[in-house]
Amino acid sequence: MAYPDNIDVFEEKLNKNPTGKNYVIEEQLPIPAGVYEGPLRHDNINNDTVRVYTGSRFTGERVTNFTISIPDSTPWRRLIKIYTAAAEVYVTYETPGDTVEADDINVLQDAVTVTQTEINRYKGVNDALVANTRTRLAAVESGKAEKTYVDTQLLSKADKTNTYTKTETDARIQSVVAAAPEALDTLKEIADALNNDPDFAGTMTTQLAGKVEKEAGKGLSANDYSTAEKTKLAGVAAAANHYVHPTNHPPSIITQDAGNRFVTDAEKLAWSAKETPSGSQAKADAVAGDLSDHEADNVRHITAVERTNWNAKASTAAATVSTAGLMSAADKSKLDGVVAGAQVNTVTSVVGRTGAVVVDKSDVGLSNVENYGLASQAEAESGTSGAKYMTPQRTMQAIQSQLASVGAGDMSKLIYDTNNSGIVDAAESVPWTGVSNKPATYPPSVHSHNYMPSGPLTWGQLRGGVTGAI
């Protein structure tokens, strides 16, 4: 419930962490009726970091039965739905910071508006109370007595010289009461005692005339003594005592006879444990019924031999090589795959040997393949033998030996023919100083070239038919 019934609470927003690291947040959520559904407190949460436990700081039991959803209109928010029997859970997650949106501003504006409305209401009520207080205060001030009037009234009162103090007043009252009993030490108590009778003395004289006379040698008590009580007292024997009959009597004072005997608790228990005729008959009837049922076809006695034979039967478990039993499905499939009349063929010898035969490579022939040995490195590099096999190592050694003699260099097609045209793209140049066996001089040699004479050109000249030495 919002303000003014309750104080509004706003969750603190997280700015982007200047260190570039994520915030680690833990929220405590109540789980009413086994399920919680609602938004998490902060935004931009990494869903992979969400963990739910029944205790704080990853303690208690881990809760894995939860879902996280992202609203389409506010993708920076996260909604979580948790299913658990725990009363509360702790949700931990990581976030780089919150996103401040229009709804956050709207919530603050609504809270400010409600606060202002409540302040205006309180101001109106408070102003009315202040105005009423001022009115009442003015009325009190207008009706208060003037100092002159108060002084005049005080002077008209008796002064201390002409008035008794409390001590003096109590002394005067005590002199009047004197030694009167406590029940008659006030005027009201005395009046009540006289019953407000103005002729109290005459009344008392009349009442005393009806009293009993006290005779010499006889005594009177404060209690009346009637004739009936005198008669009762005359019937009591001298030295008589008051006998009270006890509530319980010990068994020892009671005389037992053949018709009246005491029974102990042990005897009662023993008699109660005895079988009754009706109980004995019921048991006998039950035994007779059992014997009759035992003779039915579904209940029979068996002999020891029958029991032994039945125990020797195969069990319902699958049979093994050492225990009899039922056939397994795998054994049944294998049996169905055996052709009728199939027999076991026994191998009596291998390569002319019997017993536990060990066969090595010398015992196995390769039929039409020649059993040549392996070439050495020298034989592989010379390439002259036709009765030796080449291993991959010997083959590589032979190739490297041939390439070393032709100067293969680094003529890689990937380097010198990048367009795969079969023509070297560009040859590396050699400086003039790097050319060996070049002549020291180059004398000119006589040779012929076509030339273009000066003057008008003839048809033959245009066709290139003019030659001459230069």
DSSP track, 401-455:
HHHHHHT-TT--HHHH-TT-SSS-S-PPP--GGG--S--S-------EEE---SS
Beta strands in 259-413 (DSSP E): 373-374, 388-389
Beta bridge partners of 326: 318
Nearest by Cα to 84 from 39, 37, 31: 31
- DSSP-assigned letter for residue 362: G
Cα–Cα distance for residue pair 78/94, rounded to 1 Å: 12
* Residue whose C-alpha is closest to residue 183's, from 198, 194, 171, 196: 194
CA atoms within 13 A on the CB side of 363: 8
Of 100, 135, 165, the residue that ends a domain is 100
Pick the residue with more confidence: 13 or 89? 89
Q: CB within 8 A of 470, min separation 6: which ones?
A: 447, 448, 449, 451
Q: Highest mean pLDDT: which of 69-83, 147-161, 404-418?
A: 69-83
Residue 5 forms part of a structural domain: yes
Where is the domain boundary, 100, 122, 143? 100
CB-based contact 450:457 (threshold 8 Å): no
Report yes or no on 63 lying in a domain. Answer: yes
Residues β-bridged to residue 353:
350
Give the chain's end-to-end CA distance (angstroms, integer).
Answer: 118
Q: Give whole-number Cα distances, 260 to 255, 257, 263, 270, 367, in Å.
A: 9, 5, 10, 20, 126
Please check whether residue 146 lies inside any domain of the structure: no
In this prediction, residue 372 has a pLDDT band, given cuts at 50, 70 and 90, of confident
Q: In whole angstroms, what is the distance from residue 79 CA to residue 70 CA?
A: 6
Q: What average pLDDT is seen over the chain? A: 78
Q: Inform me whether the pLDDT recorded for 322 exceeds 80.
A: no
- Provide the number of structural domains found in the chain: 2
Confirm whether 329 is domain-assigned: no
The answer to whether 39 and 67 are in contact (CB under 8 A) is no
* 235 falls within a domain: no
DSSP three-state, residue 27: strand
Single out the residue in 100, 134, 159 at which a domain terminates: 100
Here the tokens at position 8 are 């509004």
**Residue range(s) defining the domain that contains residue 380:** 376-401
Alpha carbon 327 to its chain's center:
52
- For residue 286, give the amino acid letter: A
Q: What is the mean pLDDT of residues 439-444?
A: 76
Distance CA(312)–CA(317), nearest Å, equals 14
The b/e string for 297-336 (b: 16+ C-beta within 10 A; e otherwise) is: eeeeeeeeeeeeeeeeeeeeeeeeeeeeeeeeeeeeeeee
Q: What mean pLDDT comes out for the span 164-182?
A: 74
CB 95, CB 46: distance < 8 Å: yes
Instruction: Taking residues 353-368, report their average pLDDT.
Output: 68
* DSSP code, position 183: G
Q: Is residue 272 part of a domain?
A: no
Classify residue 381: in a domain, yes or no.
yes
Per the listing, tokens 């014997």 go with 291
pLDDT at residue 12 in the model: 85
Q: Using CA atoms, how far apart are residues 32 and 39, in angstroms rounded to an integer?
A: 15
* Mean pLDDT, residues 423-447: 75
Beta bridge mates, 92: 26, 51
Lowest mean pLDDT among 15-29, 258-272, 395-409: 395-409
Comparing 39 with 144, which gets the higher pLDDT? 39
Strands 51-55 and 59-62: antiparallel
- Return the structure tokens found at 193: 């005692």
More confident of the two residues 403 and 129: 129
Q: Is residue 304 part of a domain?
A: no
Mean pLDDT of 309-331: 78
E strands, 253-363, where?
A: none
